[in-house]
Structure formats: structure tokens, C-alpha cells
Structure 1
Amino acid sequence: MLHTLMSSPFQCDYALLLRMLQPGDDLLLMQDGVLAGLTDNLLLPQLLDSPARLWVLAEDVAARGLDAQISSKIAVIDYNDFVMLTVKQQQQMPW
């Protein structure tokens, strides 16, 4: 399943999101969801311990001026890669 976190991790049920992530899932941080990928975010360790592959949308990171603050443990992708994720994962869950 492709999970897309579009809101700040402080404005969604982040604990439920973490519980829902399964092996083989992908989680894309986009829009304000990119805040979950900040290196100084207290919630980041839980996210990195999840069984899902983690991605962040480069355009949303750049739009917020956070390029240097995103964890190096999260892969930065563009819209073409986002399309490939949607093709790969037949189901999507927006957060």
C-alpha cells in the first residue's frame, strides 16, 4: 500500500499511521507531511523504525526551504517517481 502523509505529523493521527505501516508498504511525505522527515523531529525515530520504505517529495521540501534539514535516511524523489509508486502500489491511503 502507498501511504501519503500530506498534513503535519502533529495534525494527524500519527500513531495510527505508524501502526498501519506494513512490510512492503511505501510512505511518501508530501505537502506539510515533509515535516515528519526533519532531522530534529522527535517523531522521526519512530518513522525510521517502521517497516515501510520512506520517501519525500523533493518539490515540497524545496518549496518549504527544508532541503538541508531532511533526514538522509529518507529517499528524496520527484513527481515522476511518485507516479511510479502509484503504479507499483495499487492501493493508496492518504493521511
Structure 2
Amino acid sequence: MLHIVTSSPFSSQSLQTCLRYSSHEDEIILMQDAVFAALAETPYANALAQRSGQVYVYAPDIQARGVEKKLVSGFPQIDNNAFVALTVQHTQQINWQ
């Protein structure tokens, strides 16, 4: 299953809820303000790094927010083509807002 999180973890519980209900095989994409969850030295980045499932960060949203150099390493950045490929690959998806 693919989980798409779009809200900042600093203003919403959507990431925490996603982590609670996702399985270790599920993949997560952080988009829009959810990219702030991948900032270094946050409890959210640590929680995401401990997952066995893949976590992706949407590159256009990272660039739009100017946080390219503040992200934890280990979360692949994806572009539009990779985003589309992931949505095609996963027939089941949940959008967490």
C-alpha cells in the first residue's frame, strides 16, 4: 500500500496516524508540508528512519520550501515521474491530510 502524507507533522496528527496504521511493507511519500518530517534531528525523521518500509520525499516540495540541505539522508527524493510510477505500482493508496 502507498501512503501519501501532505500535512506538516508540527500542525497535524496525520503522519503519526499514518505510522500507526501502516505496515512495514507499506511505502510512504512525504509531500507538501509533510516534507518537514524529514528534517534532521526531529523525532519524526527518527520514527520514519526506523521503519522497514521505504519513505520517499517529493523533491519539488523540498525545493519550494528551501530545505534541501536540512534533510536526513536515507530518504530518496522523487520527482513527478517517480511519483506517478509509485501511484501506478500501488493500486491501494491512502492520502493523509
TM-score in terms of structure 1 length: 0.91
Q: Structure 1, residues 42-95: CA drift from partner, whole Å, max 9, x if none?
A: 221111112321100100000000110111110011010000100111111111
5 Å matches for 1:39-78? 39-78=40-79
Unpaired runs of 5+ residues, structure 2, are none
Matched residue type, 1:24: E
Q: 2:17 & 2:60 partners in 1: Cα distance?
A: 26
The list of structure 1 runs, each at least 4 consecutive aligned residues, that deviate by more than 3 angstroms after superposition, is: none
Question: Considering only aligned residues, what root-mean-square deviation do their CA atoms show, in Å?
Answer: 1.2
Percent identity over paired residues:
38
Of residues 15-24 and 56-65 in structure 1, the stretch that sits farther from structure 2 once superposed is: 15-24
Unpaired runs of 5+ residues, structure 1, are none
Q: 1:77 & 1:37 partners in 2: Cα distance?
A: 13
TM-score in terms of structure 2 length: 0.90
